[in-house]
Amino acid sequence: MTTSAFALLGQPAAWSEPTKPFKILDNIYYVGTKGLAAYLIVSDGKAILLDGTLAENVGPIENNIRALGFKLEDVKIILNSHAHFDHAAGIAGLKRDTGAQVMAMEQDRSALEHGRQEGDTNYGGARFPAVKVDRSLRDGDVVTLGDVKMTALLTPGHTKGCTTWTTTATNNGMARRVVFPCSITVAGNILVGNKGYPGLVEDFRKSFDRLGAMEADVVLPAHPEFGDVFERKERRDAGDKEAFVDTALLSRMVEQAKASFEKELKKARK
């Protein structure tokens, strides 16, 4: 869907369509909706939640957390991929209900705390419930819960504080490098003359390079279709135990995003 059609028709129905939670790796679960990912990373009965998705998804995400056998209070930390309403609007409600600490990249903090996207877009800045950030992060900071370590890598462009999270998780007895890449699509960002985010083009290009040089065994994006998350689950359930392992996926995603970014930039500069 083009972004103008998006503005006209509203958001995709799948974004707010509940779905059952499922295990991805030994301690990583999917707790989001059909169209927007939220991941639960577990250590010894306690959990980190990555992303809140839409405000109306707070109930379905909480139901999914409970369905996995956790209490809401077991969620100790909430992280965000980036401060856009489709990934951050639910965080305020989830923080209220779990009592978790919200940790986010410093460059996205004011957007989260004002409930307002920063930078100019062709759909106007979507608003969302504001949330206080309890811990501001810098590039390379590590968030720890029990034996789980989540490393925050700044990959800006899509937003100023767009954060790629990395960790290690086991699957069938193997340690796997897991990357939760921040979004790298243009997605309505104004590429030329963006007054709210003047360094956007350079940031996008740096992030393509950084992400393109990373190695990942398992890639879990904020929009599940970019990593075929549901298709992989089907394959895994059908017997392919390593369906989530795909060492070529991240570079494929980056190449595609980079090509469409440069195409849109060329068009915008005409």
Euclidean distance between CA atoms 32 and 43, whole angstroms? 19
Please tell me whether residue 160 binds Zn ion under the rule CB under 5 A.
no
**Distance separating alpha carbons of residues 21 and 166, to the nearest angstrom:** 21
Nearer to Zn ion, 163 or 183 (CB): 183
Task: Please select the residue that binds Zn ion; options are 98, 183, 189, 207, rule is CB under 5 A.
Answer: 183
Binding region for Zn ion (CB under 5 A) out of 12-20, 84-92, 110-118, 124-132: 84-92
* Residue 166 interacting with Zn ion (CB under 5 A): no
> Does residue 233 bind Zn ion (CB under 5 A)?
no
Shortest Å distance, C-beta 183 to Zn ion: 4
Which of 82-90, 116-124, 195-203, 213-221 is the region at the interface with Zn ion (rule: CB under 5 A)?
Answer: 82-90
Provide the minimum distance between the beta carbon of 51 and Zn ion in the complex, in angstroms, as a whole number: 11
Instruction: Decide whether 30 or 128 has the Cβ nearer to Zn ion.
Output: 128
Give ∠ CA 248-19-58 in degrees, rounded to 5.
Answer: 105
Q: How far apart are CA 244 and CA 48, in angstroms?
A: 20
* Rounded Cα gap, residues 164 and 158, in angstroms: 12
Handedness of CA 212, 50, 102, 43 (dihedral sign): negative
In angstroms, give the least distance from the CB of 86 to Zn ion.
6
Residue whose CB is less far from Zn ion, 145 or 190: 190
**Position among 28, 42, 84, 219 found at the interface with Zn ion (CB under 5 A):** 84
Find residue 167's DSSP bridge partners.
178
Beta-bridge mates of residue 151: 142, 166
Q: Binding to Zn ion by residue 176, rule CB under 5 A?
A: no
- Long-range own/partner contacts, residues 149-154 (CB < 8 A, 24 or more apart): 150/41, 150/48, 150/50, 150/79, 152/79, 152/105, 153/210, 154/105, 154/107
Least separation, in Å, of the C-beta of 66 and Zn ion? 27
Chain contacts with Zn ion (rule: CB under 5 A): 84, 183
